[in-house]
Structure 1
Amino acid sequence: MISPAVPDSRRLSAATLADLPQEVAVPDYDRAGTRIGIVHFGPGAFHRAHQAAYIDALLGSDPDWAISAVSLHSAGVRDALRPQDGLYTLALLGQAPQLRVIGAIREVLCARDEGHAVLERLADPQVRLVTLTITEKGYCLSADGVDASHPDIVRDLATPDVPVSAIGWLAAGLRLRRDRGLAPYTVLSCDNLADNGGRLRRAVLDYTRRLDPELAAWIEREAAFPRSMVDSITPATDDALRAQVAMGLGVADAWPVQREPYTQWVVEDDFRNGRPPLERVGVTLSGDIAGYDRAKLRLLNAPHSALAYLGALMEIETVADAMREPALAGFVERLMREDIAPSLALPQGFDPDAYVDAILARFRNPAIRHLLLQIAWDGSQKLPVRLLGTLADALAAGRSIDRLCLPVAGWMHFVRRQARRDVALVDPLAETLAGIDHSADADAARDVDAFLRLDAVFAPLSADARFADALRRAYATLGDATPAAVARALAGAESR
């Protein structure tokens, strides 16, 4: 962050906003005329680069939805943005970076030491929406409710009036609204976890039933927890970004954020007590969030994994670098359009060709340095949800699976290569994978069969002889998995 010694006259704030260079986009509305209608828990980089940017675009036409940003524990965001009147810079990382000052955050609080202010804001009748980006572990979830053994939940159940967990704060705010005769706010999770709204609803109800069954019944009857899906690559803020922003603004910004130009936000249209007109600013309202999640997993994440394993074997470093390799880029595009898209039950109005076009443009963005080795982490967990479901669907439909098997075989060769180089795998099954015979003399049937015995990854698909045979062929096609061998395999896949 910037030094506290930097004078206010040289720092981004309402007072310096008018002096920024003309090419810097600034709020085109009267911030003083906006009203706080949203409380957001977890105002980290993703929220400020994503949801807050959508709200910033909305406030000019509907001023009722400004944001109160609440950190649960750390005062860092508050201490950085409060002297800046909640303003910060969003850098869009395209061919030509663009700077945009976001004005949607009107209040910044830290729940740890401003609990009363947080509760009063949650009970404000003007507030009708509470959103969250706190990562999956921040929800203290169990398989079917709240993790009652989690230390924060144990503490909150004992002292519910001074909560520390997000679940505790949501319940405390809803209890205060019920007691004051106010309608509940809608609670919208913006974290990427399956059935996020449903799981959050079950957790809040489980928690409140342990404290106050009547409150739980009121929440169950009156409150809404819509599901959502979000997508945009948001690299962490670093000193290089701060320097770039200071150069572009002519003043310092304590905590700018950055993201790729592409952004997606899909929300289930299940709100109570009113909602912001999100559709005006490009948010998709849909009743099929699972369909959008599935499309993202299969059309975005699966090609990412294909690039990761095949590109890493070719000694390529980043996604953008991989897309500059014609054989690899062409293979991935055909995989998406000809093998993955036909397997998808798509949401109404979803345009797969436009989605694929957007993903390919994202992959090629040289301003995003997305490391293939990082995407390659946790392959034993990612492959089943990213690729194996598509493989199963293709088999059921009688379609060819040869191209789909190549990234899976690439993962197997990648695991073997890392073991031979004595490089530790980042994977929950690292110890098991290391125990597979990784001798240099590759034998397709032997090697593939050793991997197929990993039921946690491949069952029940491993019992299908068509899959096993196709995977052995793909594995053999990659030969010794040198860059030249992988390039030949890709060229062969293109000719089929």
Structure 2
Amino acid sequence: MIADWIATHPTMAKLTRSTYPAPVFPEKILQFGTGVLLRGLPDFLVQKANAEGRFEGSIVVVKSTDSQTDEFSTQDNLYTVAVRGVQQGREVSENTVVSAISRVLAAQTQWGEVLKLARNPKLQIIISNTTEIGLNYVEESIFQHPPQSFPAKLTAFLYERFRSVGGSKAKGLIVIPTELVTDNGLKLREAVEKLAQFNELGKLFTKWLKFHVRFCNSLVDRIVTRPTDEARQTLQKETGYEDDLLTFTEPYYLWAIEGDDRVRQTLSFAGPSTPQIIIDEDINFYKERKLRVLNGTHTLTMPLGYLLGLETVADEMRHPTMSKFVESLMLNEIVPTVPDYDTPGMDKAAVAQFAHDVLDRFRNPHLDHLLLNISLQQTAKMQARNVATLQRYYEQVNAVPKLMALGFAAYLLFMKVVREETGQFFGEIALASGGKLNYPIRDDKAGYFYGDWKTVKDRVPVTVQAFVKSVLSDVTLWQADLTALPGFTDAVAQNLNSLLTAGVAKTLEKAVA
């Protein structure tokens, strides 16, 4: 038993450069974000390239959420990526110690050190991963210490870079946002340009920004999670060291980056040994395929699965009724709407194959992909991932997508705020044991729904109908009037009323029968 082994091994060495000596490389990448996705994909790929002698560069990470960086510093910025799963019928089990991160700086307390890095002549690349709303333009001074928004922080950094290199063409940078936002590079560029204008940074800076800083649209695709306590203990027994930054991920990965020859030359961590890193002048096919099939399915199924009492994506796929819902929704209502290029590798067959690969990835028993983590900024995700899919379905079929309607109704129920505490909003689900569980609603629109849900009366269908119509007609939420889709409002309202009266399990069973 693991517990018995731990009891007989009370002390264990921490993963550090003393226990795991690693080379030190020049700092070539600045990364905004410390999340598991960045650790399990870009940072992991840089580590692989360093090991093969193809990049020989390290990453400086900026943490904006708080000033605590001890989890990194106590391990000398080392961590383990544990890859587990099945790929092409082969069981994959691989541990990689990532030593590519040189430093982690807290923006709140070390902003001067961040700006100092702008003067580093070896710096080539900036990577980011904030939330979907993290790329939004906020009108503010970039001369705060630090600026509040990510685009303002980036603008301040680029301006310091410009001043230090005298507008040199050779010292321009490649900026690659990895947020799951359509045209993320273009959106970030637009925000930076607006901030440059608002802060009156001058024509020379604007010119340098335009011609020598390349903002690349990009797409990342890899399921990366934090391990459970049991999985952590198992791996620590396997490796012989403690690792508080242990990161679990699947074998599959894709990083598609929109770029030209300059981008290919700079991103030398991409090469023949990593065909999953795609650098092309048009990556729209890969973006649409992933956004609609994988992310869209997550967003439409997460609320239903969580309200059903499930905790992870793998739990959904083990549940006989929920798994049918996930598969039918993806294959029958989402996949047919994904645009294709009618060329090998970018056609309908490629979309269908990707969907089946995604279902296999969802079933991966080694990953504990928490449904509650998927719920972050659920409203923004629903708009970005599923509104276009819904509209395309109507264009093709001219009928209500029944499973999408149920998924949307479950989303509305998930957004039912039952209480607020110091600006934090909470929903509630009934447990099989008879108790109740409160869960956080981490969504910028939680307050909006807190007010609207007060208009709904228990077991009064007309109030449910009015609530659904109000939400679906809100163009500020969806960038479209969803009540214009024939029958969709009625279908969502009927499903929501059933969820409220008959319960989640019975409503789901009826939908997939």
TM-score range, shorter chain: 0.7 to 0.9
Matched, 1:259 2:249: yes
In 1, Cα distance between the equivalents of 2:112 and 2:248? 32
AA aligned opposite 1:339: E
Corresponding residue number in structure 2 for 1:338 = 332
AA aligned opposite 2:215: F
In 1, Cα distance between the equivalents of 2:496 and 2:35? 42
Corresponding residue number in structure 2 for 1:223 = 213
Deviation for aligned residue 1:191? 2.9
AA aligned opposite 1:256: L
Deviation for aligned residue 1:448? 3.3
Distance change (3 Å), C-alpha of 1:487 and 1:137: closer
Aligned equivalent of 1:297, options 275, 291, 294: 291
Q: How does 1:138-157 map to 2 (within 5 A)?
A: 141-142=136-137, 147-149=138-140, 153-155=142-144
Deviation for aligned residue 1:16? 3.3
- Say which structure is richer in strand: 2
Q: How does 1:99-114 map to 2 (within 5 A)?
A: 99-106=95-102
Aligned residues: 458
Matched, 1:127 2:146: no
Corresponding residue number in structure 2 for 1:192 = 180
1:272-316 Cα distance to aligned partner (Å, 9 max, x none) = 473224253221224445554443332123322343343345443
Q: How does 1:312-391 map to 2 (within 5 A)?
A: 312-346=306-340, 349-350=345-346, 351-372=350-371, 375=374, 380-391=379-390
Deviation for aligned residue 1:51? 0.6
For the Cα contact (< 8 Å) 1:122–1:173, is it kept in 2? yes
1:313-337 Cα distance to aligned partner (Å, 9 max, x none) = 5443432222122232123212212
Q: Percent identity?
A: 25
In 1, Cα distance between the equivalents of 2:501 and 2:457? 12
Which secondary structure state, in structure 1, belongs to the residue aligned with residue 459 of structure 2?
Answer: coil
Corresponding residue number in structure 2 for 1:211 = 201
Distance change (3 Å), C-alpha of 1:371 and 1:124: closer
Deviation for aligned residue 1:106? 4.5
Deviation for aligned residue 1:69? 1.3
Corresponding residue number in structure 2 for 1:42 = 33
In 1, Cα distance between the equivalents of 2:189 and 2:498? 48
TM-score (norm 2): 0.74
For the Cα contact (< 8 Å) 1:187–1:224, is it kept in 2? yes
Corresponding residue number in structure 1 for 2:512 = 491
Which secondary structure state, in structure 2, belongs to the residue aligned with residue 432 of structure 1?
Answer: helix
Which secondary structure state, in structure 1, belongs to the residue aligned with residue 175 of structure 2?
Answer: strand
In 2, Cα distance between the equivalents of 1:89 and 1:419? 36
Which secondary structure state, in structure 2, belongs to the residue aligned with residue 39 of structure 1?
Answer: strand
TM-score (norm 1): 0.76
For the Cα contact (< 8 Å) 1:233–1:260, is it kept in 2? yes
Which secondary structure state, in structure 1, belongs to the residue aligned with residue 96 of structure 2?
Answer: strand
Corresponding residue number in structure 2 for 1:453 = 470
Which secondary structure state, in structure 2, belongs to the residue aligned with residue 465 of structure 1?
Answer: coil
The CA RMSD measured in Å over matched residues stands at 4.1
For the Cα contact (< 8 Å) 1:337–1:356, is it kept in 2? yes
Corresponding residue number in structure 1 for 2:503 = 482
Which secondary structure state, in structure 1, belongs to the residue aligned with residue 55 of structure 2?
Answer: helix
Q: How does 1:268-283 map to 2 (within 5 A)?
A: 268-270=258-260, 272=262, 274-277=265-268, 278-280=270-272, 281=274, 282-283=276-277
In 2, Cα distance between the equivalents of 1:125 and 1:326? 57
Which secondary structure state, in structure 2, belongs to the residue aligned with residue 59 of structure 1?
Answer: helix
Give unpaired runs (5+ residues) of structure 1: 1-8, 19-26
1:214-266 Cα distance to aligned partner (Å, 9 max, x none) = 12212212221111122334435787676555433223345433334443322
In 2, Cα distance between the equivalents of 1:99 and 1:398? 47
Deviation for aligned residue 1:376? 5.4
Q: How does 1:39-118 map to 2 (within 5 A)?
A: 39-71=30-62, 76-77=68-69, 81=72, 86-92=77-83, 94=85, 98-106=94-102
Corresponding residue number in structure 1 for 2:457 = 438
